[in-house]
Structure 1
Amino acid sequence: MSSTTRTVLPDVSRRTISPFDLSPSDNPGLILSQPLLRGHNYEEWSINIRHALKSRKKFGFVSGAIPQPDSSSSDFEDWKTNNSLTVSWIKNTLEPSLRSDVIHREFAKDLWDYLKRRFGMTSAPRLLRLRSDLANCRQQGLSVESYFGKLTKLWDDLASLRAVKVCKCGGCSCNVTAELEKQHQEDRLYEFLLGLDEAKFATVRSNLLSRLPLPTVEEAYLVVVQDEASKDSLSRSNNTPNVSAFTVNATAKPRASSAVKDKSVICTHCGRSGHAADSCFQLLGYPEWWGDRPRNRAGRGSGSSGGARGPGVGRSNATRTVSQPAASSSSVAVVDSDRPPSADLSDDQWKTLISLLAGKMGATETSSGPGFEDTDWSG
């Protein structure tokens, strides 16, 4: 049985990158960070540009950690090169209106200190502003995610000024540091719950506060986000329109009102009053809302004959025969010839049915409902 042999590589020292080293991407026109400095956003700008310079080991040129060497030093030319490059990077992150104010600042440390004096705030005024913003921070219709993001930024800014104190002597045995951190987290939980919209999250807020032990602010955030998502989903489902009702409303067509008809206008086609020939239903076709009402009325004008039907009538021979006022023997014969072969009725039963229908249609013609006699629906 062979044993496994492990080869131990020699310890190779890692090369240390010098602050004076430059990469091919390090050029004077590079914009290291966003957003640009506009004055009021100095804190955000200074944090971003500081991290960008540290990632390239160039922050020592603005902090003074890498001072200018003597002109006789071998690092003098490299220092001037890196200093000028750092100055260009800082100026590229300034608004054009501010960039012209610092055009004569040729040293990185001098430029950095000038911007800090001009736009940086001392601890006391900035702390007061942060306390005020934190006390007035409310959701006010924002999504929970956006509201929590605003709070987190205020907490981070406040922590940069007022860090939690920790014991450095090592002699404490009461674990006061952990207790202070727990109290700090509870304060953040109360601030988050206090700013939530009352009408939407009152119930979930009460449930969170009733838990023992209290949840962390991150756990409370997840619960509130889930509650918001479920309420939004329910609201969207309740606001979905009734498709069938919409279809009925969309297909319903308004009927013409007799109040707008001009009785002085006489149709040259059918001879009836209330419309002209260009809007006559006998020429244009009857609309769907006309239903089963007869297309012609005897004795109402010269154009009321049965042959003057326009397109769109679409009535069967049986229906046209039944719509006559009287059920004569010839009519019954015509209807009898049109009887479908699948009808399970004798000849006498079929004739009796047609006679009853013909009488009923005649009665409808002479005694229509209120408004039908005075209204000319035939076009």
Structure 2
Amino acid sequence: MVNFRDETSSGSPNPSYGTNPFPTVNEPQVTHQQPGSVKRKYNNDPLVIHPVDHPGLTLTTAVLTRETYFGWCLSIQLALPAKIKIGFIDGTFPRPIDQEDGRQWGIVDSMVRAWIMNTIDIRLQRRFQSTKTSRDLWLEVKSRYEGNNGPRRYYLQKDIVILQQGRNDLEEYYSKVRLLWDEMFSLKPVRRCRCGGTKTDCDGCFLETEMLQDDEENKLLQFLMGLNDHYDYVKDQILMQESWPAVYKAFTMLQNVEKNNYSRSVQQDSSMYVREGNDRRNYLDKSKSKNSICNHCGGKGHLKEKLFQTSRLPGLVETTKRKTE
């Protein structure tokens, strides 16, 4: 006789009719976790440290110097989101109130600060060693290199005006001028309407559109003025259009023309090489035939295979043979 355990004695409710009072092996066991002990996921939790992460990690190859601040800033802002750590420097992920999470936050923040310090030139690291958090370090760097941007704007505008394509290919020249424009925009953004597009028929939004259009046209002129002279006919076609295209569209048009010219030059070079090869082969054949001796008639300057008289004019062959003798 099987004795069933009384569930009421343990304070738990009686099993309902028709259910198995004995837990089976295949039934999932539900465990309730405390809010502070939720398992963290690396893909969306900035407090998780991956096994390959360490303070000596090189976050980006860009190094901060007096001249490379803008490119360095873009590289940091591109690399930290891949590590789910951008919130430590932009202020969107402050220190949590929970004590355990706050301790983990301090550990991760120290690692992010070490990553940023590794990308700063060794001659400049002393100036930022007193910062306490990664956000303090980020704000200190920005205050030093973005505080008084008047001289930097002056030299940027000067570089944009005097920039020429020269020996650079089209894509390299476009990348250089685009980088200068982006840095100038970060220092002096285009004015925006205060309504933010919430109003209809807003004069401020209309002026904003006009200013953006003027800025794009000025960039197009700057880009075209720096091109080499062999693009003049393409520049004329672009400027003769009623509405000027965007800079990237003009770059695409020029790139297509450059590719067509390159393929045409390759075809011309290949045909020239073939012609030279044929001329050289003919010259060698002629020089070889001058020194060759015919096995049929004994004459010089031809071969038996090329002596057509052997099959059609035998009398002429005999005459030729007697002359050679």
TM-score, normalized by the shorter chain, greater than 0.5: yes
Unaligned runs of 5+ in 1: 1-14, 257-286, 293-314, 324-341, 363-379
Deviations 1:197-240 (A, max 9, x none): 11x11111111111112222222222111111111122222223
Deviations 1:297-339 (A, max 9, x none): xxxxxxxxxxxxxxxxxx53x524x89xxxxxxxxxxxxxxxx
Q: Match of 1:319, as an amino acid? A: C
Unaligned runs of 5+ in 2: 1-38, 301-309
Equivalent residue number for residue 124 of structure 1? 150
Q: How well do the aligned residues superpose, as a CA RMSD in angstroms?
A: 4.0
Equivalent residue number for residue 41 of structure 1? 68
Count of aligned residue pairs for this structure pair: 268
Q: Helix, strand or coil: the match of 1:319?
A: coil
Q: Helix, strand or coil: the match of 2:202?
A: coil
Equivalent residue number for residue 228 of structure 1? 258
1:22–1:207 distance in 2 versus 1, CA, 3 Å: same
Take 2:80 and 2:91, find their aligned partners in 1: how far apart are those partners?
A: 13
Q: Match of 1:47, as an amino acid? A: L
Picking from 78, 87, 106, the partner of 2:104 is 78
1:359–1:194 distance in 2 versus 1, CA, 3 Å: same
Q: Helix, strand or coil: the match of 1:188?
A: helix
Equivalent residues of 1:20, 1:78 under 8 A apart: no
Equivalent residue number for residue 290 of structure 1? 291
Deviations 1:81-100 (A, max 9, x none): 2332222211222345555x
Picking from 158, 163, 186, the partner of 2:189 is 163
Take 1:104 and 1:178, find their aligned partners in 2: how far apart are those partners?
A: 44
Take 1:67 and 1:291, find their aligned partners in 2: how far apart are those partners?
A: 94
Q: Helix, strand or coil: the match of 2:233?
A: helix
Q: How does 1:118-157 map to 2 (within 5 A)?
A: 122-157=148-183
TM-score for both structures, normalised by structure 1 = 0.58
Deviations 1:57-99 (A, max 9, x none): 64565567777899x9666533432332222211222345555
1:168–1:252 distance in 2 versus 1, CA, 3 Å: same
Q: Percent identity?
A: 25
Q: Helix, strand or coil: the match of 2:249?
A: helix
Q: Helix, strand or coil: the match of 2:203?
A: coil
Take 2:239 and 2:72, find their aligned partners in 1: how far apart are those partners?
A: 38
Structure 2 residue 244 is the aligned partner of structure 1 residue 219: no
Deviations 1:10-69 (A, max 9, x none): xxxxx9999872233443233322313344312211232244445656456556777789
Picking from 274, 277, 283, the partner of 1:246 is 277
1:122–1:194 distance in 2 versus 1, CA, 3 Å: same
Equivalent residues of 1:134, 1:154 under 8 A apart: yes
Q: Match of 2:260, as an amino acid? A: S
Take 2:247 and 2:112, find their aligned partners in 1: how far apart are those partners?
A: 40
* Stretch deviating more after TM superposition (145-154 or 78-87): 78-87
Picking from 204, 219, 227, the partner of 2:234 is 204
Take 1:218 and 1:123, find their aligned partners in 2: how far apart are those partners?
A: 28
1:67–1:353 distance in 2 versus 1, CA, 3 Å: closer
1:353–1:54 distance in 2 versus 1, CA, 3 Å: closer
Q: Which has the larger radius of gyration?
A: 1
Equivalent residue number for residue 28 of structure 2? none
1:49–1:134 distance in 2 versus 1, CA, 3 Å: same
Equivalent residues of 1:139, 1:195 under 8 A apart: yes
Q: Helix, strand or coil: the match of 1:206?
A: helix
Q: Helix, strand or coil: the match of 1:239?
A: helix
* Stretch deviating more after TM superposition (204-213 or 141-150): 141-150
Shift of 1:247: 4.4
Take 1:77 and 1:88, find their aligned partners in 2: how far apart are those partners?
A: 17
More helix by percentage? 2
Q: Helix, strand or coil: the match of 1:237?
A: helix
